[in-house]
Structure 1
Amino acid sequence: MKKDKPKYKQIIDAAVVVIAENGYHHSQVSKIAKQAGVADGTIYLYFKNKEDILISLFEEKMGQFVSAIKRGMEHEEDAAAQLEILIKSHFQMLADDRHLAIVTQLELRQSNKDIRLKINKVLKEYLLLVDEVLHNGAQSGVFQTDLDIRLARQMVFGTIDEVATTWVINDQKYDITNLAAGVHSLIVRGLSS
């Protein structure tokens, strides 16, 4: 499988840097190849085009992200604690890879409708994880028992996403991970009975 090959990951990591530094529309495949240390033609052994690189990049990074959150929540039963793990993990992932933060918070949103639809499919696994936490919290009484899961998901994701986007727009001048506890506290209060 192509995704298991080192050059695939090299190209994905190079694409994150190139897109973050140049913007999606100004990121030629040749720049990505140069950053990855591969020939231009090598890119096409793994990806159809630049759009495919962007979608694959998001699939790869989001897959790693969801797996990390699931591992973090594995032994935690309490929904409020699970939500805290999710928020902290989200912010930590962005803080750990500032180029990826720019790509996910800014560049993915400027893409065309087809790309946005494909990205929404990838994002679905993350949103299902949020739903699971909310559902657990409602069932256990940690959150409102009559919680509108869909509306609560929009609130949770929207808040996390807006805090992250604001941080990126402000040139990542402060430590976003320091905001996790406050964001968690506000969200849990809003979800509690």
Structure 2
Amino acid sequence: MKREKPKYKQIIDAAVIVIADNGYHQAQVSKIAKQAGVADGTIYLYFKNKEDILISVFREKMAVFIESLQEVNQENTTAAEKLEFMITNHFRVLSNDKYLARVTQLELRQSNRDIRLKINAVLKEYLEQLDTILEEGVKAGEFDANMDLRLARQLIFGTVDEVTTSWVMKDHKFDLTAQAPKVYQLLLNGIKG
């Protein structure tokens, strides 16, 4: 599997920095190779093209969010606690990696339709974990039994996403992680049973 090859992670991490600094369209493969400390040709041992790099960046970095939510969904905690973790973790991961935040909040949104479809397929896994939390909360009586689960998911993810985008657009001038309890409380009040 290519993600286990030694230079793969090096290239992914370099791509995040180069795309964040230059924008996707100006992020040449040669710049990514230089940032990763590899020869230009080495990139093509791991990736078909620049689009493949961008999708791989998103897949690898989203895995951090998805895997941590999968673990939390296995724990014996309330759905509300799981929701709080999801929001806090989302803000914490992006707050700790401003390059990644810039790529996810700005660069991935300027992509062509094919890239967006591939990105949506990866994002779907994350949203399915959120669905699990919401369904569990309804079943346990924690969340409103009559709520539209699809709409609730959109509102929760949309709120988390918008707060993060605002933080990126404002050059990180506020503490993103400090927003987590406020966002959690507002959202929880909207879906409580």
> TM-score, length-normalised on structure 1?
0.97
Map 1:11-160 to 2 at 5 A. Answer: 11-160=11-160
CA drift of 1:93 comes to 0.5
For the aligned residue pairs, the C-alpha RMSD in angstroms reads 0.9
DSSP-derived class of the 1:128 partner: helix
Cα distance in 1 for partners of 2:97, 2:114 equals 26
Per the TM alignment, residue 146 of structure 1 is displaced from its structure 2 partner at its CA by 1.6
Structure 2 counterpart of 1:101, one-letter code: A
Matched to 1:86, the amino acid is M
- Partner-residue secondary structure (3-state), 2:25: helix
Q: Which moved more, 1:59-68 or 1:8-17?
A: 59-68
In structure 1, stretches of 5+ residues that fail to align are none
> In structure 2, what residue type is equivalent to 1:48?
K
1:10 paired to 2:10: yes
List structure 1 segments (4+ residues) > 4 angstroms apart after TM superposition. Answer: none
SS at match of 1:118: helix
* 2:192 aligned partner: 192
Amino acid in the other structure paired with 1:40: D
Q: CA deviation at 1:100?
A: 0.2
Deviating more after overlay: 10-19 vs 144-153:
144-153
Distance 1:64 1:89 in 2: 10
Residue-pair matches, total: 193
What whole-Å deviation, never above 9, does each CA across 1:151-173 have from its counterpart, x for those lacking one? 10000000000000000000011
Q: 1:166 corresponds to which letter in structure 2?
A: S
Post-superposition shift, 1:73?
Answer: 4.5
TM-score relative to the length of structure 2: 0.97
SS in 1 for 2:129: helix
Bigger shift: residues 74-83 or 58-67: 74-83
User: Which residue number in structure 2 is paired with residue 167 of structure 1?
Assistant: 167
Percent sequence identity is: 61
